Structure 1
């Protein structure tokens, strides 16, 4: 696996597709990794077959990347800095950022920090929760640090603990991440994100918040309902893939870099 460095951390990444294609930087969700979020569900294949250069990386604390256990390492600003460091490493000036769940939050912070480098955005699994929050996550941190899944009774905590166990994640690093990465944006800050933005949320997703209400806060926001999907299953949905490709081709075209 290829690596780059930022703030002294070694982070893993992939870079697939035509080098003359427009770049889509894939930013995965909490407790996931680029393989689980983007490779296995077919996103890298879909994007490269459509002519895009697909770049993805494992967040700090995830996958094959370094895993600090200090919560201060996991602010959205620092994680957005990793995304820009990867673009710098590859000599890419401008990209579409496609983030899922926590990755969508990181992508929003990146769009505000470096708007000239973000040509368009796709948010999956995060709607108005970007502003209002996505509930109480302290039980998730507790679940991650519990001796075993059998010791976890909180329903959402069990879901994320089981997912972390399945992906063989470093649970101490994830617990640190979840304590610091939940920072929200204000409605006014969201209103400053002027890039074309597609927001896809499953109709059975009880975490993300409304895609429509978030889109209404944005000058160029577009909501898409991923029918019949919850937070975990929406990411690989065929209709979402088709809508993302349509959005990239029709609403968010940026020059190849």
Structure 2
């Protein structure tokens, strides 16, 4: 794994394959390995003739841990992605984000449309606009001395997942307190690159696909049957839809 300096924050990244570049942006409390490598996404895309770039968000994985929530706005995390493209000398790339990574991808697409060829927003749909909620409950769950003290089932699930991914619980708590920024319909309406929205039909975190599709000019949408927030990410139908979209 390589590292580079992104505005004073050390960010860890990996690349694989050759061909047109695609930048993958993982979700909250996950990391590039769990989100993209272990689910077969990197192999799927390299087999399709793509150069794949993955990285760990600030506060996640092998990247630098920060403990001030003011350092985790999604717009700034999007700048980490943009700086990584700069570091690698990549002018434009296809970009795909999952969950929090979809929000970061949207901020990147809005702020730097010249850097994004196609965008895939997955695991976050209508709630990119309306908000997800529950950030403080999740932060408190992450800060609790033990998962056994967490009574909120949704927040407890994040605590368990963060422990499974060996995340830094204090850094993740700081992140969740500021990274769930809403994006307005007016901001989304400025997007002019091709966009694909993907989410499971049982994904309560993501919300419905159609609302986000309607907000983005020319966007396409795919709803994955019988998939929730956790098991949609490696879904074969998701992969097939993205390959067809990028092709």
Give the TM-score range, shorter chain: over 0.9
Q: Within 1, Cα distance between the matches of 2:218 and 2:32?
A: 27
Deviation of the 1:72 alpha carbon: 1.0
Deviation of the 1:227 alpha carbon: 1.2
RMSD in angstroms over aligned alpha carbons?
0.7
List structure 1 runs of 4+ shifted beyond 4 angstroms: none
Equivalent residue for 2:125, pick from 124, 127, 135? 127
Deviation of the 1:135 alpha carbon: 2.4
* Residue correspondence of structure 1 range 74-153 to structure 2 within 5 A: 74-153=72-151
* Residue correspondence of structure 1 range 180-191 to structure 2 within 5 A: 180-191=178-189
Deviation of the 1:202 alpha carbon: 0.5
| 1:205 corresponds to | 203
Partner of 2:240: helix, strand, or coil? Answer: helix
| 1:12 corresponds to | 12
Q: Structure 2: where are the runs of 5+ without partners?
A: none
Say if 2:85 and 2:91, in contact at 8 Å, map to a contact too: yes
CA deviation digits over 1:18-42, x for unaligned, max 9? Answer: 1xx1111000000000000000000
| 1:69 corresponds to | 67
TM-score, structure 2 length as denominator?
Answer: 0.99
Equivalent residue for 1:47, pick from 45, 56, 62? 45
Q: Within 2, Cα distance between the matches of 1:149 and 1:182?
A: 23
TM-score, structure 1 length as denominator?
Answer: 0.95
Q: Structure 1: where are the runs of 5+ without partners?
A: 250-257
Quick check: 1:218 aligned with 2:219? no
Deviation of the 1:77 alpha carbon: 1.4
Q: Within 1, Cα distance between the matches of 2:164 and 2:246?
A: 32
**Count, aligned residues:** 247
Say if 1:22 and 1:53, in contact at 8 Å, map to a contact too: yes
Deviation of the 1:136 alpha carbon: 2.3
Say if 2:203 and 2:228, in contact at 8 Å, map to a contact too: yes
